[in-house]
Amino acid sequence: MAPRRKAEAPEPVKAAPVRQSTRKRPAAKTEEHTNEADENDKAAHPSPAKRPRGRPTAAPKLQNGASQKKKSIYDVPSDDDAVGEEGSNKDKVRAEQTHVGDEEEAEEVATTPKRKVKTTTSPVKASATKNIITPSRATRFTGGETPQWRRNDRSARKKSARALIERVVAGDASDEDEQEELAQEIYDSSQDEDEEEEGLEEGAEGKTQEIDESEAAAASPSKRPRGRQKKETAPKQKGRARKKSPTPPRDLPPYELYFAQNRPGAAKTSSNTLASLELLTHEEYFSILHQHKEHHAADIEYLQSWHTESFAQWSFELSEGFSICLYGYGSKRPLLHKFAKFLYDEMPDHESSKIVIINGYVRSTSIREMLGTIASAVDPSHRLPAGNPSVMLDSLKALLSSHDVNITVIINSVDAVPLRRAGTQTILAQLASHPQIQLICSADTPDFSLLWDSGVRSAFNFVFHDCTTFAPFTVEIDVVDDVHELLGRKARRVGGKEGVTYVLRSLPENAKNLFRLLVTEVLLAIEDEGMSGGENPGVEYRILYNKAVEEFICSSEMAFRTLLKEFHDHQMITSRKDVLGTELLSLPFRREELEAILEDLMS
C-alpha cells in the first residue's frame, strides 16, 4: 500500500493550479474573458488548464462510493478540504456553464464514472488522460456503447500502471522483468486505444466546437497534437526501444560488451532444458572417448614436437636460475613429462640431481605434501617436521643447504584451484628462489598472472613461454563430474562400489552398519519415489538417526554425527535441505551400484 500512497500524493499538488484557474473564472464574468484566462493558463500549464472541464468530477466524487473516500484519505488533507470548496466553485462553474446549454450538465453526470476512473489512475498519466475528456466527447462514448470490456481494460491498465510505479518506487529492477514487460505492454496498448479514441474525439471536436466555444478553445485540435506528442510519444518510444533490445554491434571492445550484456534485463534466454538429453555417465564417456579418433591428432603431435625442440633452451634457462612458466591453451602435462624425461637423460648423475613432479590439479594437493616430497627427494630418510608451511619451508631450506642436491620441481597447473591460495604461491616462490631448486610450471588459465604480486613474481624470477599444445586435458579435468557440477547436478563421489568397500573396510563395525542402513533406506525410497533429476531421493536425518538408535548403531547424536562426518569426508553421502529446511541424506550412487554395495555389506 505504501508505494501507492506515495504515488498518489502528487495529485493535490497538480490540482492546485487547477483550482486557481477555476477561481479565476468567476472573476472574469464573461465567456470571452474566461477564454482568455483559460488560454493564458494553458500557455503556462498546458495540461492543467484543461482540467476545469474534467475537474467537476470532484463533486460526484463526494457523492460516489466509499471506495473513493478511502482513497482520498491518502491525499493531503487540504485536498479533502478543498473538495467542498471545489464543489462550491464548481457550482459557480456550473452556473456559468448553464448559460451554454443544459445538456452539458447531464453529460457530466453521465460521464462521471468514467472520468472518476481517470482521475484516480496514475498521476504520471493523469494530466495526459485528463486532456482527453471533454464533456462533449464523453457524451459520445457514454451515450454509445462504453462496454464492459473497456472498463475492464481500464482497470487492467490502472493496475499495470500501479505495478510500474511500485516497481520504480521500490527501486528493484530485478529479475522479474517478464512481469514488468507485461505491465508495460498493457499500459502501452491501452494508450494506443486512447490515441484511437482521441482520433475519434478529434473528429467529434469539429462539431462540438460550435456548440461550446470555450471547450473547443481549451482543447483545440491545432494545439493538442503538440502537447500530446511531447507527453505520449516520448515514453512510448522508450518502451518500444526497450522491447526491441537490438543485439549489440559485433566489434565492441570487451568492456563495452560487458556492459552491453550486463545491463538489466538484457539477457533473455530460452527456457529449453537438457531434460530430454540423457546425460553421460563416466563409463559411457570413456568408452566413447576410446573409440573416437581425433582428426587433429597428427597436428597436435607436430605442435608438441615443435615445443620439444626448445627443451635445451629451457634447461639452460633453468640452470641460470630462472623459473619457467608455460602457458597457452591445451594440456601441457605430456609436454612437461617429456621434458622431465629429457632432463633425466641429461643429468650426469641421478643422486645429486632429482626431479620432483607436483600435480597441482589433484584436489588433495597440499603445500605440506609438496614440501614433504621435496624433502624426501633431498634425503629419503629425513622426515620434515609437520607444521606451519613456512616453518616447513625453513627446515627444508636447512636440509637443502646441508646436502649437495639439485632439485628440479615440475608443477603441472600451477594455477589450479588447490594451489591458488596466496600463501601457497608465496611458499612456492620462496622455494623457487632457492639456488638449489629449479622450477618449471605450466599454467592453464588465461589469467594466471594475477596470482602473483610483484614481490612473489620477482622471487619466482619467471620466464614465460607460449606452449599452446591443443592437447586434451585428460587427467587434469574430471570431465563428466565437472560438467554436471556446472549444470548444477552434483555427482561428486568416491570411486564407485570399490571405493566404498575400501573406505568401509577401514571403519568400525558401527559405521558399516550405519551405511548399510542408509543404503537400505535410500533403496527403499527409490522404490517409492523413483529418481528425480539424476539424484537419489533423500532420507530424513531425524528418521535415520532414530533408526540407528533403534538398531543400537549409536547411542547419541554426537556419535551419529561423527560417523556421518566420516562418510562425508569420503564424499560417500550427500546432504541437502529440502524446501522446509529438513536435512535430507542421500547417496551419490546409481541404483545398481547401491544394490551391489548392499550385497557386499550383507555378505
Partner 1 sequence: MADTEALAEALGGQEHQAAYIFDPAAEAPVANRPAKRRRVSKKHAAQPEKPKENHARQFQPLLNGLESSECLQLRQDAFLKSWSRVQDRIDSVLRETNQSTLEAVTGFIKECTVERTDSRIPSALIITGANMASQTLLFEQLSDSLQTRAGAKVVLLRSGDASNLKAALRRIIFEVVANPSDAAEEQDLSLGNDGKRYLNYDLEALRSHLAHHPSPHVIVAFQDSEAFETGLLTDLILLFSSWLDRIPFKLLFGVATSVELFQARLLKSTCQLLYGRQFDVEQADTIVEKIFKTAVAHVDAPLRIGPAPLRMVLNRQRDQAAGVPIFVSSLKYVYMCHFYTNPFSVLLADNAPQITLQAEHLEVVRSLSSFRSHVEASLRDKAVSHVQSLLGDDDYLNRQVREQLNSSRSWARRSLRTLYILMCHQGQTSKFTQLYVDLLSQGVDGLNQLSDLVSSMRRMDPAEMMSLLNQIVTIIKDGDGNMGLKGCESESVPSVALLSGIVTDIQTLCREAEDAGRTLRSEYSGQNKIMRTTVIAQKVQLSHDAATLTSQDKSYTRLVDTVIEHVEALLRCERAEDVWLHEAWLYDFKTPYREVFMPRPRSVVQRALLRPHDYLACSCCNSSKDQIMPTLPATAILYHLYLETGSLINVADLWTAFFGIVSEDEAHGLDERTALVMFYRAMSEMRVLGFVKPSRKKVDHIAKLAWL
Span 438-497, contacts to partner 1 by CB under 8 A: 443-449, 453-455, 457-459, 461, 463-466, 468, 470-480, 482-483, 485-488
The interface region with partner 1, picked from 146-154, 267-275, 534-542, 591-599 by CB under 8 A, is 267-275
Residues 161-220 that bind partner 1 (CB under 8 A): 175
Name the minimum Å distance from CB 412 to partner 1: 9
| Alpha-carbon span 281 to 589, nearest angstrom | 11
274 touches partner 1 (CB under 8 A): yes
Of residues 339-358, those binding partner 1 (CB under 8 A): 340-341, 344, 346, 348-358
Does position 280 interact with partner 1 (CB under 8 A)? The reply is yes
**How many of the chain's residues bind partner 1 (CB under 8 A)?**
132
- Report the SS3 class of residue 447: coil
Q: How far is the CB of 147 from partner 1 (least distance, A)?
A: 41
Report if residue 390 touches partner 1, rule: CB under 8 A: yes
- Within the chain, what is the greatest distance between any pair of CA atoms? 121
**Site for partner 1 contains 239 (CB under 8 A):** no
* Interaction of residue 254 with partner 1, rule CB under 8 A: yes
**Which residue in 69, 170, 240, 302 binds partner 1 (CB under 8 A)?**
302
Rg (CA), the chain: 40
DSSP code at position 280 = P
Let me know: does 445 contact 326? Beta carbons within 8 Å: no
The single residue among 222, 269, 506, 603 that binds partner 1, judged by CB under 8 A, is 269
DSSP 66-132: HHHHHHHHHS-HHHHHHHHHHHHHHHHHHHHHHHH-HHHHHHHHHHHHHHHHHHHS-HHHHHHHHHH
Which positions from 543 through 572 interact with partner 1, judged by CB under 8 A?
Answer: none
CB neighbour class for 244 (10 Å; exposed up to 12, middle 13-18, buried from 19): exposed
CA dist., res. 145 & res. 240, Å (int): 31
* 594 SS3 class: helix
Dihedral-angle region of residue 511 (phi above 0 means left; psi in -120 to 50 means alpha; beta otherwise): alpha
251 binds partner 1 (CB under 8 A): no
Helix (H, G, I), strand (E, B) or coil at 528: helix
Contact call for residue 531 and partner 1 (CB under 8 A): no
Does the footprint of partner 1 cover residue 26 (CB under 8 A)?
no
327 lies in the binding site for partner 1 (CB under 8 A):
yes
C-alpha cell at 153: 481494460
Orientation of helix 123-132 relative to helix 177-211, angle to 10° = 30
524 lies in the site for partner 1, by CB under 8 A: no
Report the nearest approach of partner 1 to the CB of residue 465 (Å). Answer: 7
The sign of the torsion formed by the CA atoms of 98, 102, 103, 105 equals positive
Nearer to partner 1, 67 or 272 (CB): 272
Q: Is the Cβ of residue 466 or residue 509 nearer to partner 1 in the bound state?
A: 466
User: 484 near 505, Cβ under 8 Å?
Assistant: no
Establish if 603 lies at the interface with partner 1 (CB under 8 A).
Answer: no
CB-based contact 305:299 (threshold 8 Å): no
Cell of 88: 462550491
> Strand, coil or helix: what is 290?
helix
Smaller CB separation from partner 1, 329 or 502: 329
Residues 358-387 that bind partner 1 (CB under 8 A): 358-359, 362, 364-366, 369-370, 372-374, 376-377, 379-381
Nearest distance in Å: CB 557, partner 1:
31
Which CB atom, from 75 or from 415, has the smaller least distance to partner 1? 415
